[in-house]
């Protein structure tokens, strides 16, 4: 009389199908965990930026030459520095930044070079005005003050958009870049631009100034939790499918002797 030898109940996990499935789950979980930590890294970067912005905006304006030396560009460390600069607006080379909106309303930003006493200049985003939602340059842009003007504002980095977006065409751009604008003027431009916050004398018809930057934390922490949840879900799924197959195998009738 022969007896049936007991089998290892989880032996099916050593099959090629289950080993491949397990490796897939491990790789998937590792990627999700890595993406979660990447979002935490982005959150830390955002918090560091917020702290730098808060620190810059809490200080008094400094001369442009103090914050940005000749030949330098506005970078992450100098962006949002409040500066003061004296010069005269060059309306001839003024451009409008198309497809900018405020509270859902279409409009343009008006960017005008401010020429300083040494002959160099810096681009000044004078503010926003509502316009029809078309590609046509508005012909009713309020003029800046004439003569010598003292401008205060915060520094901004050039846009990283492609050349088609930053190169002036018919007095319009889609993003601001001093590098692209340099080919359209006969003087040296500072590397970056200035968001106007005040000027003396003031404009007869002021534009809507750039709002203060948003200092929220963004969705990065919740994105990290989501990625880690997906990693846990993948591992849970592996054990759940293994339990289902084990249950099915145990429900099958044993082969007769």
51 located within any domain? no
Q: What is the mean pLDDT of residues 201-213?
A: 92
pLDDT at 77 over 70: yes
Helix (H, G, I), strand (E, B) or coil at 108: strand
Structurally, the chain folds into a number of domains equal to 2
Query: Tens of pLDDT along 117-129?
Result: 999 999 999 999 9
Query: Tens of pLDDT along 136-151?
Result: 888 899 999 999 999 9
Q: What is the mean pLDDT of residues 224-247?
A: 89
Q: How do 105-115 and 189-200 pair as beta strands?
A: unpaired
The pTM of the full predicted model, rounded to 2 decimals, is 0.76
207 located within any domain? no
Q: What is the pLDDT of residue 200?
A: 96
- Do 92 and 194 reside in the same domain of the chain? yes
Q: What is the pLDDT of residue 4?
A: 45
- Do 154 and 69 reside in the same domain of the chain? yes
- Do 16 and 118 reside in the same domain of the chain? no
Count of beta carbons in the 10 Å neighbourhood of residue 82: 19
Give which of 68, 65, 90, 38 is closest to 226, Cα–Cα.
38
- Do 157 and 191 reside in the same domain of the chain? yes
- C-alpha to C-alpha distance for 106 and 178, rounded to whole angstroms: 24
pLDDT band at 5 (very low <50, low <70, confident <90, very high): very low
- C-alpha to C-alpha distance for 21 and 29, rounded to whole angstroms: 12
pLDDT band at 3 (very low <50, low <70, confident <90, very high): very low
- Do 29 and 85 reside in the same domain of the chain? no
- C-alpha to C-alpha distance for 182 and 255, rounded to whole angstroms: 85
**Residue 132 corresponds to which tokens in the numbers above?**
């029809």
Are 47 and 217 spatial neighbours (Cβ–Cβ below 8 Å)?
A: yes
- Do 168 and 246 reside in the same domain of the chain? no
> How is residue 14 annotated by DSSP?
G
- Do 124 and 77 reside in the same domain of the chain? yes
Helix (H, G, I), strand (E, B) or coil at 157: coil
Q: What is the pLDDT of residue 257?
A: 52
101 located within any domain? yes
Q: Which residues constitute the domain of residue 155?
A: 61-200
Give which of 187, 210, 97, 204 is closest to 146, Cα–Cα.
204
Q: What is the pLDDT of residue 188?
A: 93
- Do 78 and 185 reside in the same domain of the chain? yes
Helix (H, G, I), strand (E, B) or coil at 199: strand
- Return the bridge partners of 194, or none: 124, 155
- Do 160 and 194 reside in the same domain of the chain? yes
Are 67 and 186 spatial neighbours (Cβ–Cβ below 8 Å)?
A: no
């Amino acid at each position: 009389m022969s007896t049936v030898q007991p089998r290892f109940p989880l032996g099916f996990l050593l099959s090629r199908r289950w080993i491949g499935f397990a490796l897939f789950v491990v790789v998937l979980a590792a990627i999700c965990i890595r993406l979660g930590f990447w979002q935490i890294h982005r959150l830390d970067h955002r918090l560091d930026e917020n702290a730098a912005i808060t620190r810059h905006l809490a200080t008094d304006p400094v001369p442009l030459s103090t914050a940005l030396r000749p030949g330098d560009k506005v970078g992450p460390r100098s962006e949002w520095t409040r500066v003061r600069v004296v010069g005269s607006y060059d309306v001839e080379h003024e451009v409008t930044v198309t497809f900018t909106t405020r509270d859902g309303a279409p409009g343009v930003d008006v960017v005008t070079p401010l020429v300083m006493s040494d002959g160099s200049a810096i681009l000044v985003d004078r503010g926003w005005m509502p316009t029809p939602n078309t590609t046509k340059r508005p012909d009713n842009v309020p003029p800046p003050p004439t003569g010598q003007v003292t401008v205060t504002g915060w520094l901004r980095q050039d846009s990283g958009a492609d050349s088609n977006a930053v190169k002036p065409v018919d007095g319009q751009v889609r993003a601001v870049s001093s590098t692209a604008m340099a080919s359209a003027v006969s003087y040296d431009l500072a590397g970056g631009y200035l968001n106007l916050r005040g000027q003396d004398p003031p404009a007869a018809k002021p534009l809507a100034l750039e709002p203060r930057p948003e200092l929220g934390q963004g969705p990065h922490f919740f994105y990290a939790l989501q990625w880690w949840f997906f990693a846990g879900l993948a591992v849970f799924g592996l054990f759940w499918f293994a339990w289902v197959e084990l249950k099915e195998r145990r429900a099958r009738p044993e082969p007769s002797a």
